[in-house]
Amino acid sequence: MSARNKVRKAVFPVAGLGTRFLPATKAVPKEMLTVVDKPVIQYVVDEAIEAGIEHLVFVTGRGKAVIEDYFDIQVELEQTLRERNKKVEIELLEGILPAAGMTSFTRQQAPLGLGHAVWCARDIVGNEPFAVLLPDMIMRGDKGCLKGMMEVYEQTGGNVLAVEECHPDQAHKYGIVGVGKEVGGGFEITKMVEKPAKGTAPSNFFINGRYILQPEIFNILETQERGAGNEIQLTDGMLKLLEKQGFSAYHFRGETYDCGAKDGFILANVAFALARADIRPSVEEQLKALLAR
Ligand code: UTP
């Protein structure tokens, strides 16, 4: 594959209002809420870096400046840690710091929708394919979701979406894809339907919040009218792109937690805590006691 086609940049739309987490999100962006001891956004950035992403593009909004600070050096803190010889903590902070020049931040002045947020990254992304990762969704699997998508992309090119299977009764809650022939370890997407009416979904495969898109999406989003929720929807833009370009699906077979919803966020904390050897025994014991009440 030519260098022009490599997916080097990932866009993280973090400009939403996070109304489901009010009052916390009055002062703290939901992407900075912690799952065990890391902010949600860190999990998603780790997934992008594991997949070989070289540049992180954050589309932020008002009240989100703390995200930019999080990805910077905290000089006073690190100085104090050095004075106290806190080697483990210093290493931890150094390990998560993106390389100089590896991040870009742009603003979506008004939360006009996910499609609009992605469009705000157009100049930073330029004329090359890119990934979009919804920071609400954090995933666990043998292999990162975006890494798996990259493997499909290497075979198919074009646009790649990650999908997962839902119970047929739940399909009306999601963006559902139509299943075509097998390609590159995934399958061809024949259609996309946002929140299909009950009993009409073309499959049980829903789009889980990870996308590899070609830059032609930007021109489409530029003139995209508002759709569901009076917002400029990414799915509406992708539907137009599907008329001109191929879309493939990567079937992610891991666990996904929707940290934009209260139950998903709490479950993520439980699941990630149980996966940690240092705290599992105590968490497990206390959870059992709680459930027995
Ligand atoms: P959501 O609709 O789940 O996030 O958007 P939200 O609007 O922040 O949450 P609620 O519904 O009010 O609780 C999915 C992702 O798209 C981003 C959000 O930040 C989130 O990561 N987004 C959404 C934007 O960046 N801009 C928008 O205008 C809308």
Q: Measuring CA to CA, which residue among 8, 27, 266 is closest to residue 138? A: 266
φ/ψ (deg, to 5) at 271: -65, -45
Q: What is the pLDDT of residue 68?
A: 94
Going by DSSP bridges, is the β-strand pair 55-60/103-107 parallel, antiparallel, or unpaired? parallel
Q: CB count, 10 Å around CB of 51?
A: 23
For residue 280, the CA-to-ligand 1 centroid distance in Å is 32
Task: Specify if 193 maps to a domain.
Answer: yes
**Six-digit token string for 96:** 């998560």
- Closest residue by Cα to atom 22, ligand 1, is 16
The CA-CA-CA angle for residues 42, 48, 53, to 5°, reads 130
Q: How far apart are CA 91 and CA 220, in angstroms?
A: 44
Q: Which of 12, 17, 59 to mutate to test the pocket of ligand 1 (most atoms within 8 A of CB)?
A: 17
Q: What is the pLDDT of residue 4?
A: 43
Q: What is the pLDDT of residue 63?
A: 86
For residue 264, the CA-to-ligand 1 centroid distance in Å is 15
Instruction: State which residues form the domain around 102.
Output: 9-260
Q: How far apart are CA 274 and CA 285, in angstroms?
A: 11
- Closest residue by Cα to atom 25, ligand 1, is 15
Q: Measuring CA to CA, which residue among 224, 35, 47, 31 is closest to residue 120? A: 224
φ/ψ (deg, to 5) at 31: -70, -15
Q: What is the pLDDT of residue 11?
A: 98
- Closest residue by Cα to atom 4, ligand 1, is 16
Task: Specify if 164 maps to a domain.
Answer: yes
**Six-digit token string for 46:** 């780790």
The reported pTM is 0.94
Q: What is the pLDDT of residue 2?
A: 46
Q: What is the pLDDT of residue 3?
A: 44
Task: Specify if 270 maps to a domain.
Answer: no
For residue 16, the CA-to-ligand 1 centroid distance in Å is 4
For residue 111, the CA-to-ligand 1 centroid distance in Å is 8
Q: What is the pLDDT of residue 224?
A: 87
Task: Specify if 34 maps to a domain.
Answer: yes
The sign of the CA dihedral 15, 38, 206, 209 is: positive
- Closest residue by Cα to atom 2, ligand 1, is 16
Task: Specify if 105 maps to a domain.
Answer: yes
- Where helices occur in 197-233 by DSSP H, the ranges are 216-222
Task: Specify if 267 maps to a domain.
Answer: no
User: Tens digit of pLDDT per residue, the chain (293 long)?
Assistant: 444 489 999 999 999 999 999 999 999 999 999 999 999 999 999 999 999 999 999 999 988 999 999 999 999 999 999 999 999 999 999 989 999 999 999 999 999 999 999 999 999 999 999 999 999 999 999 899 999 999 999 999 999 999 999 999 999 989 999 999 998 888 999 999 988 899 899 999 999 999 999 999 999 999 988 888 888 999 999 999 999 999 999 999 999 999 999 999 999 999 999 999 999 999 999 999 999 99
Q: How far apart are CA 165 and CA 253, in angstroms?
A: 9
Q: How far apart are CA 255 and CA 152, in angstroms?
A: 19
Q: Are 162 and 145 in contact (CB under 8 A)?
A: yes
Residue tagged 């894809």 (tokens): 177
CATH assignment of the domain containing 88: 3.90.550.10
- Closest residue by Cα to atom 10, ligand 1, is 18
**Number of domains into which the chain is organized:** 1
- Closest residue by Cα to atom 3, ligand 1, is 260
Q: Measuring CA to CA, which residue among 163, 148, 152 is closest to residue 202? A: 163
**Six-digit token string for 261:** 């919803």
For residue 17, the CA-to-ligand 1 centroid distance in Å is 6
Residues with CB under 6 A from ligand 1: 13-20, 59, 108, 111-114, 116-117, 134-136, 260
Q: What is the pLDDT of residue 227?
A: 83
Q: Measuring CA to CA, which residue among 110, 108, 77, 113 is closest to residue 94? A: 77
Going by DSSP bridges, is the β-strand pair 9-13/130-133 parallel, antiparallel, or unpaired? parallel
